[in-house]
Chains A and B, each alone.
Chain A
Amino acid sequence: MGVKRNWLLVITKVVIDIALCIVVINSVKTFFVFTKGFHGIDYSISIPVRMANTLERYYPTHEVKDGRITMNAHFGTARVLTYNPFPQFLMIVGFVLNQLLVIAILYNLRKIFRMFYHHQPFDYKNVTSIKIIALYLSLIWIKDIIFNLITYSYYLKYELAYKFGWRWDFKIRGIVIAAIVYIVAEIFKYGFELKRENEEFV
């Protein structure tokens, strides 16, 4: 019996394969850029900030105890020059953790789409992969909270929150998305059990 090929599925599978390759290559390249000359390198990091309205008129620069921080109001980024390696170390660790989790999510997504491509959506391997994706999404959310807390605690030490109007926001959308993905895993598990029961009838 011929099976009609779903071309949207084929395209999505190819896009995920390409995205995984790009993320891996980009992560390795960026890791070496970040770690090059560890300690005292001028680098730019993007921190989600809320800018006070008055700061939009100029580019503020603030001298800190062991460096200098410059805000770019138009792009919403902070450029940091510091002789203290702690912020750079924190950024590298956060970046590595984030990229490992993203690569793992894409890898599991690729496995799921491969099973869909072979017309086996209700397989227990898919249930496991979806649950793993939910776990990694929640780990990314936890990592973001911890690293944002540490980052803002470090910069708050220099009263930057007051000067630049920074505020740390607690976003729950990460854990909500992880919960929705977990519910999808349970639905696929139910589908797997129904399929198995159906196959026991001839």
Chain B
Amino acid sequence: MGIIVNLDVQMAKNKMSLKELAERVDISMTNLSLLKTGKVKGVRFDTLEAICRELNCKPGDILDITDDG
């Protein structure tokens, strides 16, 4: 089982670019890109809270779990 990140879906719904979201959330574009592609080990609660606030969504809209089997 793995965690998948649906950040790009929420960004498209809000018509927000990666650069704009990174500036609003106050993290680097590199880290946000890594998060979008699911290549990070974890997300801090304050980062998740900031992303949800800017994209007007809930954590469950961004993070999902999948059964790899």
Residues of A within 8 A of B (CB): 197, 200-202
Contact = CB atoms under 8 A, between A and B. Distances in A.
A201 B48 CA distance: 11
B3 interface: no
Given A200-B40, A201-B41, A201-B42, 4 more contacts: A197-B41, A201-B40, A202-B31, A202-B35
B8 to A, nearest CB: 15
Nearest to A202: B31
Interface string B18-47: 000000000100011011000011111001
Interface residues of B, number: 11
A202 B31 CA distance: 6
A149 to B, nearest CB: 54
Contacts of B35: 202
19 contacts: A197-B41, A200-B40, A200-B41, A200-B42, A201-B40, A201-B41, A201-B42, A201-B43, A201-B44, A202-B27, A202-B31, A202-B32, A202-B34, A202-B35, A202-B40, A202-B42, A202-B43, A202-B44, A202-B47
A202 to B, nearest CB: 4
Contacts, number: 19
A54 to B, nearest CB: 74
B36 to A, nearest CB: 10
Nearest to B42: A201
Contacts of A200: 40-42
A196 to B, nearest CB: 10
Contacts of B41: 197, 200-201
A91 B44 CA distance: 61
Nearest to A201: B42
A202 B28 CA distance: 9
Nearest to B48: A202
B69 to A, nearest CB: 26
Nearest to B43: A202
A202 B33 CA distance: 10
A195 to B, nearest CB: 13
Interface string B37-67: 0001111100100000000000000000000
Nearest to B47: A202
